[in-house]
Structure 1
Amino acid sequence: MATDIDDLFADGQFRFMDEDFEGSIEIFTRVLEMDPAYAKAYQARGISRLRLGDRESALADLREALRLDPENPRFHYHHAAVLMQMDRLEEAVEAVSRAIDLDPAYAAAYYIRGQLYERLGDEESAAADTSHAMNLRKEQMKANRWVDM
C-alpha cells in the first residue's frame, strides 16, 4: 500500500507542477482519505489551495500538517507564507523563525523572514536576514560544485 499511496502523492505533485491545482487538490485529498496521517499531503494540498487563492483552507491544511509533524521546518515555512499572504505578519515571523530554529541553514526561510521584517518596518533585521540568506545560498552552491566534480 505504501507504494500505491506514494505513487498517488507523486501524481499530485506532477499535477501541481503542471499548474493543475484543482487536480492536485483532488489527488492529495484521495491520499488523505487513504492515510489521514500523511502530513506531506496536507502541506501539498495547502499550497495548491493557496495557489487558487483559498487562504483559509490553505491555512487549515498547513496547521494540520504541523499538528502531525511539528518538527518539519518546511511546514513552518509554508505556514508562514500563508500567514504572510493574509497580512498576519507577526504570526508569520513566529512561524518562519520556528523553521529557522529547526533548520538554521534554510536560506529561503531567512529570505522570507527578511521580507516580513521589511514589511514590518524593521530595516536592520530585514537586511541582516536577506544578507544571511544570500550567504547561505552561496555556501550551498559552492558545496554543490564540490559534490558535482
Structure 2
Amino acid sequence: MELDRRREQFYLRADEFTDGLLGDHSGAEEKSGMNSSNTSSLETIDTMIFYAIKAHNNGDFQTAETLYTKILNQKPNALVASIVYKHRGMAFFAQGAYEDAYKDFSASLNENPKNFRSYYYAGIVLMMMNKNSEAITMFNKSLEINGYQAHVYFRRALAYFQEDQLILALHDLDNAAALGLSAEEEKKLRAAIAKKIDMV
C-alpha cells in the first residue's frame, strides 16, 4: 500500500535514530523518477497529490516537497491541508530537515487537532532534536486520541528512557508489548533499561 511505503520511509529514519540510542546501526533509501522541472504542468490538486505521492514513495523527496507546497498554496480545505502538511513534514524529515518537519506537523495539527499521527510524528522529530520532554507531551496527546498504538507507547518509552524516567519507560514498554510491539524491539529497549538501572 502506498501510504504504508511513505510511513516505512519515515520509520526507517526514526529507527536509525533508535538503533543509535540502543547501540545498533543500519539504514536504507531509494531514489527516483520525476524531477521538479516536470512539475510546472500539473494543475489540479488531485493530479498534484498523485504525483507527490509517487515521488515521495520513490524517495524523490524534493519533488514531493515542491508538489505538496503547490497543493497548500491552493488553500485546500482543513482536512486535506492537515494531511498534506503531515506528508510534507514526512518528506522534510526524510531529508533531515527536522525544524521544517516539526513546523509542518504543527501546521497539520492546527488544521486538524484530532490528527493523532501528526502528534506522533511531531514527537519523533522532537526526540531527534533532543527535546524529549516536549516529545512526551506530543506522544501523550496522540495516545489521548487513540490509546491503541503500540509504536507510540514504544517511542514514549524511549523518550522516558532518555530522560532517566526508567519506571515510566518500563510501564510504556509493557503497554507496547501488550498491543503487539515486536519482541526484538521490546528486548533491545528492556535490556538498555536494565543496564541503566544497574548503573544507577
TM-score of Structure 1 vs Structure 2, range by shorter chain: 0.7 to 0.9
2:111 equivalent in structure 1:
68
Taking structure 1 as the reference length, the TM-score comes to 0.83
| 1:114 maps to which of 147, 157, 169 | 157
1:50 equivalent in structure 2:
93
SS at match of 2:130: coil
TM-fit CA distance, 1:7 = 4.5
| 2:128 maps to which of 78, 85, 97 | 85
* Alpha-carbon RMSD: 1.5
Q: Larger radius of gyration, structure 1 or 2?
A: 2
- Which aligned segments of 4 or more residues in structure 1 are displaced greater than 6 angstroms? none
My pick for the range that moved more, 4-13 or 117-126, is 4-13
Residue ranges of structure 2 left out of the alignment (5+ in a row): 1-43, 182-200
SS at match of 1:121: coil
TM-fit CA distance, 1:11 = 2.7
1:22 equivalent in structure 2:
62
Looking at structure 2, the residues matched to 106 and 48 of structure 1 have their Cα atoms a distance apart, in angstroms, of 22
Looking at structure 2, the residues matched to 82 and 47 of structure 1 have their Cα atoms a distance apart, in angstroms, of 10
Structure having the higher helix fraction is: 1
TM-fit CA distance, 1:27 = 1.4
TM-fit CA distance, 1:68 = 0.7
Taking structure 2 as the reference length, the TM-score comes to 0.63
Change (3 A) 1:119 1:10: farther
| 2:75 maps to which of 35, 60, 67 | 35
Percent identity, please: 25
Q: What is the number of residues matched between the two proteins?
A: 135
One-letter amino acid matched to 1:12: A
